[in-house]
Amino acid sequence: MIKTYLHSVINNALKKLNFPEKSIQLDNPKDEKHGDITTNVALTLSKELKQKPRDIAQSIMDNLDLNPEIISKVELAGAGFINFFISDKYYIAELLNILTEKDKYGKSDDFTGKKANLEWVSANPTGPLHLGHGRQVCLGKAIANLLECVGYDVTREYYYNDAGNQMENLGKSVYARYMQIIDPNFPFPEDGYVGDYIKQIAQLIYDERKDSLKNSTDLSLFKKAGENYNFKMIRSTLNKLGIHHDIFSNESQLYTDGKIDKTINEFIARGLAYEKDGALWLKMDEKAGFDKDKVIRKSTGEPTYRLPDMAYHIEKLNRGYDLIIDIFGSDHGDTYKEVLYGVQSLGYDTSKIKVIIHQMVTFKEGTESVKMSKRSDKSYPLDGLIEEVGADAVQFFFVMRGANTHLDFDIALAKEHSDKNPVYYLQYAHARICGILRNAEDNFPGFDFRSEAAFSDGLIGTEEEIQLLKILAKFPEEVSSSAASFEPHKIITYLNVVAERFHKFYHNNRVLDAENKELSIARLKVCLATKQILKNGFEIIGISAPERM
């Protein structure tokens, strides 16, 4: 990447001058008249060296060992900024790199040998995935793809609570519907799940066991049947979005393996937990921002959510991951801090754990908001959204804004087949390029534009061509930056610029010209490289790259 090259060149200049080592910041000027990349390193050295920033900048510039094939010009600007102008030859060389590396372009080995665990979705199997799950479902898919692009060995994990009140309510709900097949007047629990899927589970049990379970006091069979049925629905929905998990973990296994008891014993042994009113309390440090201690085991013996979550994160840390990511909704904004505090207080390195909190989503269908309660007959399952707007639109719309911002999901817009629809706009750019390339192959069979061979100097050089090549060459940097901040929406922002610049290039430059074969081949290579960048970006986001639309 060009910034890696400039870091090295500037560092070498600082060493020649015996200047102190500094963290070198490289930015892209807002106005391209000021170059392609700028640095304020001279300003950061001024106080320490007791020299004017412009004098320091001039000294650095005089000691830069630059390759003219990469940097065509360097200028001193303002109070002491150094502006670098990248050579057109660099961009043309990068174009050929794209054509050579193809699907690998943009990927790096920055974190090769490192292991990452991404735990997300993790909905309890009390019903199908609904719209409220959609944002983290799709965010997790894209973030996992990003991490793999920079070299991580990613384990995709799903953790669910199969030992709490919600699962007990599931068992009661299924049993009530089962009994209503036998006796329509059998009461339904007030806090039961009322979706039609509960009736379907009950009917399956009745078809197999008839009325032999009508006097059941142990509802574990009904709970397990509900869990299995719902998990089948959940996995079916995830499959439609191309999401597959490597590991499915559950809370009950933490009890079976003794990890809950082990965690409790460690808290007590370290003097971090105490008994009060029959409950077990965890001491919370005011200096860490907590105003009171927290119950981790109720007087009934039942743990609060904090305890199993602490044991679960300790178990993941013990597996040896270099990075652990959790994706939660905004309702977990405070509670996860308590969990991490408990884990850290037992001596574990919680700096390896990154928690991503996504904000709420508002769904609209026309002017009407869409409700999504699992305990309502008006539930809008995620499956229904996929069927209505398509898997690509679902994935794209949930990812196109930063996780920490509120998201408006316009269902009507997601269904629209026009440039107003942001996913359609990008996919159409890819399909359009595919059409141009097919046209070239069909009508100009002698145009060997798919080879990685270089072309003559001077063929590519119009403003639209260079502007397009500039943005294509930034793809590796965009991937690295997006992965570092776990923000896949940045890739979408970048691809929008790629599409805009491509359309401008194609509109203002004749690509296919039988009378100028060499120029046509060069411009077809630009089209081919643009298509490759779009495709590579789509793979990160998690959408398809259609060749016809």
pLDDT tens for each residue of 120-140: 999 999 999 999 899 999 999
User: What are the domain boundaries of the chain?
Assistant: 2-86, 103-109+419-541, 115-161+243-358, 165-240
User: Each residue of 433-471: pLDDT tens digit?
Assistant: 999 999 999 988 888 898 888 888 889 999 999 999 999
Domain 2-86 matches domain 103-109+419-541 at the CATH topology level: no
- pLDDT at 428 exceeding the cut of 80: yes
Q: What is the mean pLDDT of the chain?
A: 94
> 45-58 pLDDT, tens per residue?
999 999 999 999 99
d(CA 206, CA 208): 5
The percentage of residues in the chain with a pLDDT greater than 70, rounded to a whole number, is 98
Nearest-5° Cα angle at 228, 222 to 232: 145
Q: Which CATH class is domain 2-86?
A: alpha beta
- Report the alpha-carbon distance of residue 227 to residue 239 in Å, rounded: 18
Residue 284 pLDDT > 90: yes
Task: Please state, in angstroms and rounded to a whole number, the distance separating the CA atoms of residues 312 and 161.
Answer: 11
SS3 assignment, position 334: coil
Q: Which of 270, 348, 262 is nearest to 307 (CA)?
A: 262
Phi-psi region of 322 (alpha: psi -120 to 50; beta: other; left: phi over 0): alpha
Confidence band for 379, pLDDT divided at 50, 70 and 90: low
The CATH number for 103-109+419-541, chosen from 1.10.1740.10, 1.10.730.10, 3.90.780.10, 2.60.40.1180, is: 1.10.730.10
Q: Is 115-161+243-358 in CATH node 3.40.50.620?
A: yes
Question: pLDDT over 90 for what percent of the chain?
Answer: 85
Question: Does 372 have pLDDT greater than 70?
Answer: no
- Whether the model clears a pTM of 0.85, i.e. scores above it, the answer is yes
Phi-psi region of 491 (alpha: psi -120 to 50; beta: other; left: phi over 0): alpha
Distance CA 134, CA 544 (A): 18
Binned at pLDDT 50, 70 and 90, residue 335 comes out as: confident
pLDDT digits (tens, 9 = 90+) for 73-98: 999 999 999 999 999 999 999 999 99
SS3 37: strand
Least confident of 288-297, 372-381, 436-445: 372-381
